[in-house]
Structure 1
Amino acid sequence: MVSYPDSQSAERTLAIRRPPSVSSHSSRASTVRRHRPHRSHFGGTTYQPQNEFPVFTHTGDVEIVISNGRKEQRYVLHKLILTQCSGFFEAGTSEEWSNAGEGSSVSQNSAALARVPSGARQEKTRWRYELDWGKGEDDLPMLVQKKTQPTMFGGDATPPAQPPPARNKPTAPQSGFFRSMANFSTLHVPAAESDPDDDTFRDYDNLFKIFYNYSPALDAVNIASAYVECKSLLLIADMYDALEVIGPRVDHHLLRFQGRLWKQIAKYPPSYLKLGYMARSKAIFAEAMVHVVGQWPQGINQLRGQIAEPVIELIEDKVDETDELKAKIEVKLFRLSLTTSRGERVSPSSNWLDWLAVSLFRQWLAENTNPPPAPILKAPRAPGSRNGDNAPLPPPPAFNTGRVFRLLGQGGSSYLNHDECKRFLRLNPDQYNRDNLRRFERRIDEMKVKAMDTVKPLMRNFLELDLREGGLPYLTCTRIDPQDFPWDES
């Protein structure tokens, strides 16, 4: 093994003792030695301070510490980046905020720094933030700025903060870590359970990653998990006034799910409407809005008081537009009729059987486009109730005529099929026979064709969801125009 002593005396001793036969080799070794990196007394190379995300030791001027007593994540970032991405940091690192309440201690410290030669001073202002977890489980963790004072040689004169006490939550188990060495060959350590605060650490790490144009760590396989992670990240971004930066990355991540995303929105439209609004995602917001308007007022309890009032106003405006269109089309449907061979409208006197076909269609339309009458009897109570202790059953869901218009737009045997026509004619035995039944069904089909043409404006679909896999029981004809997005009003 070749040794490279560091001291000059050792070099002189080696030069005296080496034989002439190895002089050339030692000379080359000496040259290599002079170009080797300096080695520490611990046998490794000299530690080089990190100057990349998440710790910019040389250039960072804002320190952020997230610790829960079990683990800690430290960031040293740049004021310039943070203030460009977050209104919270823009206000917190401003001169007005930084100078507030400093008093005479700042002037005394400035006087002390002034006595130090300018070459020895590093006038590098630093800000420090620590995560305050709050006192209760319902409190949201929030970054709190800690006052710091620069020393004459730069850095922070404030002593390092002690780690906060562990939160009142179960710690990750340590079972399986310590085993006897006799079983070392067959040792299998199970994965430790996740820390209960891992989601918070992940959210803040994703927040700062996006600030620095790194990809956030969001689930790219399970869309349900991705939704939860994106929603949590958006809530953090909203707290720190950073939605304009975080929203587009969340939008980009969720849109990668393509068809699976549209199916999830169809299952949970109010939830995705709120997410789309926070992320300023036009695609997600518009898709969810079509579902919400089509089902309204089904999702009112999930949205009222939980989303901005302009969104509620937009929903109500779109619902009113759809109701107006449905009312106009209903009038046209009730005016549909059949004509005789001479071009006259059928009537009981001109053609009894054809008039019965028109009457049956109008009766079916009237029954299905009007809510059922309110029951005269008292509302039934929940099963198991005694002496009226339990409240009555909840009211039935709001009446939605979208299903009826879907049937009219579909036509065919979706309504007033062969069996229904047969039962109707049998009510009058004098009119019931095979020929009359065939003629009656043909005339009903003519009414269905006319109805399909009438309801075409309601059959428009402005969803990205492929409805060929299965229809929806409500209308999807709501169109969201560019000027409708509520965050573009200003």
Structure 2
Amino acid sequence: MANLALTSHHGASQSTAQLPVTVDPALGNPLLRDYDNLFRIFYNYPPLLNATNIASAYSECKALLSLADMYEALPVVGPRIDHHLLRFSSRLFKQIAKYPPSYLKLGYLARSRIIFSEALTHVVGQWPAGLPYIKSPDPNGGGYEVPQSVIDLIEDKVDELEELKLRIETKLFRLTLTTSRGERVNPVNDYLGWLAMSLWRQWLAENTTPEVRGILKNTSPSSSSRPGSANPGGANVPPRRTGGTTAGDTATLAVQHPPPPPPVPVNTGRVFRMIGATNPEAFLPRDELKRFLKIQPPGHSTSAVYTRDNLRRFERKIDEIKNVARDIVKPLTRNCLELDVRSFLSDGQGGGGGLGYLTCMRCEEEDIPWEI
């Protein structure tokens, strides 16, 4: 009897957190599962959400938030979702980097400042790639989409980023070397320094401006000869036509003169990351400098510039330019993410790989598009 009493007393003292949670098999239905989690939260019980697979957890949280939005229960459900997803830690931030528009919408509904800010930084850096995924077709922001206030916030951050990039790019083009007397280098006082500046500005211009497309030549059949229409003089002359232009001729002219394709936008974010990289071989490596000095001027059989001593001096000039440029682009290459972007570097040495876009725009406290 004593043993039975002791066992009974020990069982009664167990907390409810230690008791096994039995899941109703009927909750395999997603709708029933969502309602079960909703009422669990209403009665201050933790929801039964996937704690191992972040993709499944995202789907369950998204469905639960949609249901809570129908019952105007987002202020109650949102903190639970925020707490559950943040337990994934670094896995969550890597997932946000893969699908920033999706987590931007989820972070907004859950009123999660960390998730929303993290996703916003990615979306702004990739803009306008994420616009089709976050802009609501409903002007009132209905459904599982973000309202217009979030779109306005993104566009403001994009404008701020573009202004910053313009200022940094201007400073990079104005970057110059000086002699020991403090004079700007020119072909007279420092020829190698002037060559280094010329090469730097040429590289910067080629990597920050769209590709220049040539003018297409007119290759219409009307300007060429046609077989089988020879005139008595032996020249091939197209036969004359009387009357107006047919619909087929109009279509042919439209095909002959297509509008030029728009220029491909330059990924300047990757260029700025290359400039800010700690690896000196990220751009303008030694082999390229050597080839540059070996270029033969017109009318000369050999290069009058390339020597081993000049190559070493030229490398020092370029390194000096790189060091100054690296300091200039620091406002653009800073990381405002919770994610450690070093894990995304392709070479592991800061060689300009990684995300390929800028992550320097932070969502401040006053930028949050909901009442805190």
Superposed pair shares fold, TM > 0.5: yes
Q: 1:359 to 1:195 in 2, by over 3 A?
A: farther
Taking CA–CA contacts closer than 8 Å with sequence separation of 6 or more, which of the two structures ends up with the larger relative contact order?
A: 2
Q: CA separation in 2, counterparts of 1:362 and 1:424?
A: 14
Opposite residue 486 of structure 1, the aligned amino acid is: P
2:340 aligned with 1:466, yes or no?
Answer: yes
What secondary structure sits across from 2:370 in the alignment? helix
**RMSD, aligned CA:** 2.6
Counterpart residue number, 2:21: none
Q: Which has the larger radius of gyration?
A: 1
2:102 aligned with 1:271, yes or no?
Answer: yes
Q: 1:238 to 1:332 in 2, by over 3 A?
A: same
Preserved CA contact (<8 Å) 2:207 2:268: yes
Q: CA separation in 2, counterparts of 1:253 and 1:401?
A: 37
Q: CA separation in 2, counterparts of 1:463 and 1:284?
A: 10
| 248-257 or 400-409, which deviates more | 400-409
Q: CA separation in 1, counterparts of 2:96 and 2:158?
A: 19
What secondary structure sits across from 2:41 in the alignment? helix
TM-score for both structures, normalised by structure 1: 0.55
Q: CA separation in 2, counterparts of 1:415 and 1:280?
A: 42
Preserved CA contact (<8 Å) 1:298 1:397: no
2:206 aligned with 1:323, yes or no?
Answer: no
More helix by share: 2
- Residues 219-249 of structure 1 deviation map (CA, whole Å, 9 limit, x = unaligned): 0000011011101111111111111111110
Preserved CA contact (<8 Å) 2:211 2:264: no
Q: CA separation in 1, counterparts of 2:132 and 2:263?
A: 15
Q: CA separation in 2, counterparts of 1:474 and 1:219?
A: 32
Map 1:145-184 onto structure 2 (within 5 A). none
Counterpart residue number, 2:318: 444
Q: CA separation in 2, counterparts of 1:377 and 1:259?
A: 51
Opposite residue 236 of structure 1, the aligned amino acid is: L
Q: 1:293 to 1:219 in 2, by over 3 A?
A: same
Aligned with 2:201 (options 359, 362, 378): 362
What secondary structure sits across from 1:355 in the alignment? helix
Q: CA separation in 2, counterparts of 1:345 and 1:233?
A: 64
Q: 1:398 to 1:218 in 2, by over 3 A?
A: farther
Counterpart residue number, 1:400: 267
Opposite residue 267 of structure 2, the aligned amino acid is: N
2:130 aligned with 1:247, yes or no?
Answer: no
Opposite residue 409 of structure 1, the aligned amino acid is: G
2:50 aligned with 1:223, yes or no?
Answer: no
| 231-240 or 278-287, which deviates more | 231-240
Preserved CA contact (<8 Å) 2:117 2:363: yes
Opposite residue 185 of structure 2, the aligned amino acid is: V
Q: 1:276 to 1:374 in 2, by over 3 A?
A: farther
Aligned with 2:36 (options 205, 208, 214): 205
What secondary structure sits across from 1:221 in the alignment? coil
Q: CA separation in 2, counterparts of 1:457 and 1:338?
A: 22
TM-score for both structures, normalised by structure 2: 0.72
- Residues 25-66 of structure 1 deviation map (CA, whole Å, 9 limit, x = unaligned): xxxxxxxxxxxxxxxxxxxxxxxxxxxxxxxxxxxxxxxxxx
Counterpart residue number, 2:16: none
Q: CA separation in 1, counterparts of 2:202 and 2:309?
A: 23
CA apart distance, 1:472:
2.0
Q: CA separation in 2, counterparts of 1:197 and 1:303?
A: 30
Aligned with 1:454 (options 293, 305, 328): 328
Q: CA separation in 2, counterparts of 1:397 and 1:366?
A: 15
2:362 aligned with 1:479, yes or no?
Answer: yes
Counterpart residue number, 2:248: none
CA apart distance, 1:298:
1.3
Q: 1:403 to 1:256 in 2, by over 3 A?
A: same
What secondary structure sits across from 1:410 in the alignment? coil
Q: CA separation in 1, counterparts of 2:37 and 2:156?
A: 37
CA apart distance, 1:276:
0.3
More strand by share: 1
Preserved CA contact (<8 Å) 1:219 1:225: yes
Aligned with 1:372 (options 211, 217, 221): 211
Q: CA separation in 1, counterparts of 2:339 and 2:130?
A: 19
Preserved CA contact (<8 Å) 2:207 2:266: no
Counterpart residue number, 1:44: none
Counterpart residue number, 1:346: 185
2:285 aligned with 1:417, yes or no?
Answer: yes
Opposite residue 422 of structure 1, the aligned amino acid is: K
Opposite residue 289 of structure 2, the aligned amino acid is: C
Q: CA separation in 2, counterparts of 1:196 and 1:426?
A: 74
Opposite residue 295 of structure 2, the aligned amino acid is: L
Q: CA separation in 2, counterparts of 1:290 and 1:302?
A: 15
CA apart distance, 1:484:
0.5
Q: CA separation in 1, counterparts of 2:156 and 2:214?
A: 31
Preserved CA contact (<8 Å) 1:295 1:400: no
Q: CA separation in 2, counterparts of 1:236 and 1:372?
A: 49
Preserved CA contact (<8 Å) 1:297 1:398: no
Q: CA separation in 2, counterparts of 1:375 and 1:348?
A: 32
Map 1:121-160 onto structure 2 (within 5 A). none
Q: 1:195 to 1:362 in 2, by over 3 A?
A: farther
CA apart distance, 1:366:
1.1
Q: CA separation in 1, counterparts of 2:60 and 2:267?
A: 34
Opposite residue 154 of structure 2, the aligned amino acid is: I
Counterpart residue number, 1:312: 151
Preserved CA contact (<8 Å) 1:203 1:232: yes
Unaligned residue ranges in structure 2 (runs of 5+)? 1-23, 137-144, 218-254, 297-302, 345-353
- Residues 291-323 of structure 1 deviation map (CA, whole Å, 9 limit, x = unaligned): 111111111111122321000100010111111
Same amino acid, percent of matched pairs: 63
CA apart distance, 1:341:
2.3
- Residues 250-274 of structure 1 deviation map (CA, whole Å, 9 limit, x = unaligned): 0000000001000000111111001
Q: CA separation in 2, counterparts of 1:339 and 1:283?
A: 46
Count how many residue pairs are aligned between Structure 1 and Structure 2. 287
Q: CA separation in 1, counterparts of 2:263 and 2:149?
A: 28
CA apart distance, 1:201:
1.0
Preserved CA contact (<8 Å) 2:26 2:32: no
Preserved CA contact (<8 Å) 2:82 2:110: yes
Map 1:59-98 onto structure 2 (within 5 A). none
